[in-house]
Amino acid sequence: MTFSKILIANRGEIAIRIARAAADLEIETISVYSEDDVSSLHTQKTDESVALNGRGVSAYLDMTQIIAIAKENHCDAIHPGYGFLSENADFAAQCVENDIVFIGPSPETIALFGDKVQARLLAQSLNVPLVKGISEPVNLETAIDFFESLQGKPMLLKAAAGGGGRGMRIVYTNDELAESFARATSESEQAFGIGDIYVEELIEKARHIEVQIAGDRSGEILHFGDRDCSLQRRHQKLIEIAPAPALDQSMRDNLIEASRSLAVAANYDGLGTFEFLVNTSDQEPFFAFIEANARLQVEHLSLIHI
């Protein structure tokens, strides 16, 4: 599919990279900017630039305003970059309803992987390994029962609609469970508008390995290798190494095949990242699916091109 004009619904470095890629393809671009971003560099790297009403993040989250600007300027596509509206299924659906191509996964795919419980259920249906847990939102009483079933092992509370480490708490003792559950629920509600929490056993010594994929409307799924993202602070990645070092080829193949299997089942269209826990220290190495990010990531350095 080719485009004549793209609206870039983002700012900063990612907006500049998208504009550069579009220019290479001889596609016109329009950038948008909030009232306090009028002097930002990204506004100078596109063919046109249009002001948004509002300041800060809220301006870039105004779906109605952004779609109106795209229609007024005869854009046939919107590129959300990462962050902001990139994982908003409602926004992707509104683009479709207005005959504007959303450059990213389909609304259905975004909704599926945006709900970590549903993503876990999909993996379960495909026999992709999972960490021991409960594949549905839980209340405090159920969380307590599950924690006790772990017989002294730590538990992870995770926001069903979460990402980026928000709405996540580690529980080591019964005494801290109630407060941790309340904090995770509150943080999830504030960050995502949904307070649903699910639980998993915490695998403390596992490596965090990710696989990048790309799908198209023909059903073809390609992978772009793996990376080790184990070095983190507060569930935020600090350093990533690609390809993941000291990873057995059979394990690497298993991760890629699991990623492709999940992507095919979701009829994946666009770029995405599938995340896994990998433990190679035991006599029987294992891997387990964590979640998928249905969007462009900062790490997709060479995959910006449309």
Q: Active-site residues: which are they? A: 295
* Other beta carbons less than 10 A from residue 82's beta carbon: 17
CB 186 within 8 A of CB 196: no
Would you list the DSSP string of 220-236?
A: -EEEEEEEEEEEEETTE
What is the rounded CA–CA span in Å between residue 19 and residue 41?
11
CB 7 within 8 A of CB 68: no
First to last CA, the chain: 9
Please count the residues of the chain.
Answer: 306
